[in-house]
């Protein structure tokens, strides 16, 4: 059987898995898993550089499903590709304690790179991962050994790209010329309530071109040769991120709802039996053919072999660069120097120093002790005082810089910092005024939910802000942050407490 034929069979069987899983629990979203099945077939069947036997391989391509409600897309392909996600977990979709929750959750499912709940977060998370990938290459690659050279690919829908956080993050990604980032837009012209043109009329692809992306339009999103060609163009891009608009039919495979708002959710699952017949699948539910199983087993063997070749390069790099290897290991293991408190400024009990000024000294001391510490700000470094001196800014031309200039993009800052945290090497942070913490609250909540090793710095809280007036005097924000489960909120009152707070973070 030719490659395209087996990939088409895999796409239709992935559709079948989604239909059966959602039908079994009477809950979920069919639209994306069915509409983007050919995208999944090309990604997992031939494009992504991953090792299904080791989902945490550090040089893997990162695939982010930003449209997390379409989770059966990701679960179906992870299962077929040979990740540790057996068919029993597919059958337990959306059940308590299963590895297939309603929205993808970080560290719960092998192959899931991040928790994508609120739409648009995954787009910004992917930007953060692309930033981290560039940082990792700058910090650890050498002329003799290239150990970081992977891609970050995100799949987003109309809903994701209507969200402000995606726009903020995409604008920054284009500015930073992140050529290791590809954003695939599942453009099916449908939202939950109605057709997409009821709430949007701009040309999304032109908007991304204006951001500075290399833009590709695929008129037939079910043409796998076109998808293959577009992804190859993205991988060869060396100057800017790539945006691929893929025109798909939502819920393709269920004629009763395909191409309509009714195909977005679980409503089409009631047509499961006729849909299975139309897709050429047998009556057996959760069916995967021997041919498709065999194809992905061969594909996995090839991926493992490629990984082993990288392992040889990595071993040679370790032997030649013991200091870099130790630093990388410390980042991956989230290590913090045991004597960190001894390495920061000691303030006198009666020191008359503002907490943010004290924080400036402390974060610079921490940066010397922790070379993987990253500090960013939403255009307020001069006020939040968290700029790290003598380490440079991360820019399109300087990937070793450790200061992130997020611009006035608080929500994107929160989600991009999360993306750097998901990457697993660096210890990132972001800063703004406390009143703007509400602009980034969804990202803050997700970071707490996922136990990410990150920290936020919020300054200028309460009435003490003074002349800026009540719009910038948040008296309720700290309390609002403290009710977020698993978020430690520390409000230091003097320089000594500030030092302790930074070390604790």
Catalytic residue IDs: 410
Q: Which residues contact 434 (CB under 8 A, 6 or more apart)?
A: 458, 459, 460, 461, 462, 474, 477, 478
Under a CB-based contact definition with an 8 Å cutoff, are residues 16 and 73 in contact?
no
Distance in angstroms (rounded) separating the CA atoms of residues 234 and 126: 15
How wide is the angle at C-alpha 153 spanned by C-alphas 42 and 266, nearest 5°?
70
Under a CB-based contact definition with an 8 Å cutoff, are residues 119 and 415 in contact?
no
- Structure tokens that stand for 164 in this block: 């402000």
Q: Which residues contact 162 (CB under 8 A, 6 or more apart)?
A: 119, 120, 191, 199, 200
- DSSP H helices, 36-120, are 37-42, 71-81, 87-91
DSSP structure string for 410-432: HHHHHHHHHHHHHHTS-EEEEEE
Angle subtended by helix axes 3-25 and 224-236, to nearest 10 = 100
């Amino acid at each position: 059987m030719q490659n395209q034929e087996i990939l088409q069979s895999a796409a239709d069987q992935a559709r079948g898995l989604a239909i059966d899983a959602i039908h079994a629990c009477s809950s979920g979203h069919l639209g994306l898993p069915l509409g983007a099945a050919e995208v999944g077939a090309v990604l997992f069947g031939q494009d992504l550089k991953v090792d299904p036997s080791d989902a945490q391989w550090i040089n893997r391509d990162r695939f982010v499903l930003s449209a997390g409600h379409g989770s059966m897309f990701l679960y179906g392909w992870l299962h077929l590709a040979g990740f540790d996600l057996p068919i029993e977990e597919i059958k337990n979709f959306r059940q308590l304690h299963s590895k297939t929750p309603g929205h993808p959750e970080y560290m719960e499912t092998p192959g899931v790179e991040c928790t994508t709940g609120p739409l648009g977060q995954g787009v910004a998370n992917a930007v953060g991962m692309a930033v981290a990938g560039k940082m990792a290459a700058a910090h650890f690659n050498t002329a003799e050994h290239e150990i970081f050279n992977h891609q970050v690919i995100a799949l987003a829908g109309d809903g994701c790209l209507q969200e402000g956080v995606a726009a903020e993050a995409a604008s920054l990604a284009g500015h930073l010329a992140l050529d290791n980032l590809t954003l695939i837009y599942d453009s099916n012209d449908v939202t939950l309530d109605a057709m997409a043109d009821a709430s949007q009329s701009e040309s999304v692809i032109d908007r991304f071109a204006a951001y500075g992306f290399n833009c590709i339009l695929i008129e037939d999103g079910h043409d796998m040769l076109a998808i293959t060609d577009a992804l190859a163009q993205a991988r060869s891009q060396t100057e800017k991120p790539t945006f691929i608009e893929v025109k798909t039919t939502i819920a393709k495979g269920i004629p009763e709802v395909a191409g309509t708002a009714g195909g977005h959710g679980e409503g089409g699952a009631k047509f499961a039996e006729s849909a299975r017949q139309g897709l050429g699948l047998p009556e057996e539910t959760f069916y995967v053919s021997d041919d498709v199983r065999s194809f992905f087993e061969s594909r996995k063997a090839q991926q493992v072999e490629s990984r082993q070749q990288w392992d040889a390069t990595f071993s040679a790099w370790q032997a030649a660069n013991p200091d870099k290897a130790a630093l990388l290991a410390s980042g991956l293991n989230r290590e913090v120097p045991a004597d960190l408190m001894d390495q920061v400024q000691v303030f006198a009990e009666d020191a008359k120093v503002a907490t943010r000024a004290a924080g400036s000294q402390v974060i610079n001391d921490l940066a010397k002790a922790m070379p993987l510490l990253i500090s960013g700000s939403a255009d307020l470094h001069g006020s939040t005082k968290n700029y790290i001196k003598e380490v440079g800014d991360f820019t399109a031309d300087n990937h070793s810089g450790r200061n992130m200039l997020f611009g006035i993009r608080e929500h994107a800052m929160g989600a991009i910092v999360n993306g750097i945290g998901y990457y697993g090497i660096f210890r990132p942070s972001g800063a703004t005024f406390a009143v703007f913490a509400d602009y980034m609250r969804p990202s803050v909540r997700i970071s707490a939910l996922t136990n990410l090793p990150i920290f936020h710095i919020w300054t200028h809280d309460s009435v003490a802000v003074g002349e800026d007036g009540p719009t910038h005097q948040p008296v309720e924000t700290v309390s609002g942050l403290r009710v977020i489960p698993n978020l430690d909120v520390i409000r230091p009152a003097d320089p000594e407490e500030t030092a302790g707070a930074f070390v604790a973070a």
